[in-house]
Structures are given as C-alpha cells and as structure tokens.
C-alpha cells in the first residue's frame, strides 16, 4: 500500500522560501509512470493545483505560481519536494502531496500539512 507523508516547517516568514517534502512509502518514486503532485487549500477555501513532476523528472506548474515554484525529486530518499519563494500571507494553506496516474487518477494523497506565513 502506497503512503505519502508531507513534512516541513509549519511557520514561514513573509518573503522567505517555503520548503516541503513528501515521503513516499510502499513503492518506489522512480518506478512506474506517475505524476508526483502538490495541491494546496487555504482555510475555508477550495483546492488549488500547484504543480507536478513526472517520474522522468519533467515538471509542470500552475501558471499563476510558476515564477515562484520548484518541484524536485530525491530518488535516494524516495521523496519529492516543493519550494515556493517570496511567500506572503496568501500562501498560508494546508499543502497536500498526491500521486497521479497517467490517466489522471489521483490515487494516493498525503494527509496534508499546514503552513502558516507570518512574521
């Protein structure tokens, strides 16, 4: 059974860089044809797709966040990561990682981690 777990600082100062990691267990991040994705949800609001990384390492990002976001993978640790620069209070949200198949099936989700941007 594949499991995903987000981790990282729960508090980030404005203008700094948010860094989160998603650890994958129960399967190799480098095998199969999957998109390793990040989604976020501000409190009381809807889901927002941030971006994804394919098993090959290629990436796609939400156009509205593209200039500030980088998704990368560390296959040795079976982890993929999200970095978002120049954060503001508007980036305060629960951040989820998810695995997505080539057919668009969001088959596994992490439990989510709350990141608050505040001084």
Partner 1 sequence: QTVVTQEPSFSVSPGGTVTVTCGASSGSVSTSYYPSWFQQTPGQAPRTLIYNTNTRSSGVPDRFSGSILGNKAALTITGAQADDESDYYCVLYMGGGVWVFGGGTKLTVL
Cα 83–Cα 101–Cα 40 angle in degrees, nearest 5: 35
| Contact criterion met (CB below 8 Å) for 23 and 7 | yes
Least Cβ distance, residue 103 to partner 1 (angstroms): 5
Q: Of 117, 119, 50, which is closest to residue 80 (Cα–Cα)?
A: 50
φ/ψ of 4, rounded to 5, equals: -120, 140
Least Cβ distance, residue 84 to partner 1 (angstroms): 17
Q: Which residues are paired to 80 by β-bridges?
A: 22, 73
Q: Which of residues 39-78 bind partner 1 (CB under 8 A)?
A: 39, 46-49, 52, 59-64
Site membership for partner 1, residue 114 (CB under 8 A): no
Residue of 17, 25, 28, 111 interacting with partner 1 (CB under 8 A)? 111
Binding span for partner 1 by CB under 8 A among 12-20, 68-76, 77-85, 100-108: 100-108
Q: Which residues bind partner 1 (CB under 8 A)?
A: 39, 46-49, 52, 59-64, 96, 103-107, 109-112
């Amino acid at each position: 059974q594949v499991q995903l777990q987000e981790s990282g600082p729960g508090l980030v100062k404005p203008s700094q860089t948010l860094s989160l990691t998603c650890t994958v267990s129960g399967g190799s991040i480098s095998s199969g044809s999957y998109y390793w994705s990040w989604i976020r949800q501000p409190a009381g609001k809807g889901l927002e797709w941030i971006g994804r990384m394919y098993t090959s390492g290629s990436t796609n990002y939400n156009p509205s966040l593209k200039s500030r976001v980088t998704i990368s993978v560390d296959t040795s640790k079976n982890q993929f990561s999200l970095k978002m620069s120049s954060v503001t209070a508007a980036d305060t949200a629960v951040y989820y990682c998810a695995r997505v198949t080539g057919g668009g099936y969001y088959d596994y989700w992490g439990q989510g981690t709350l990141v608050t941007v505040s001084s």
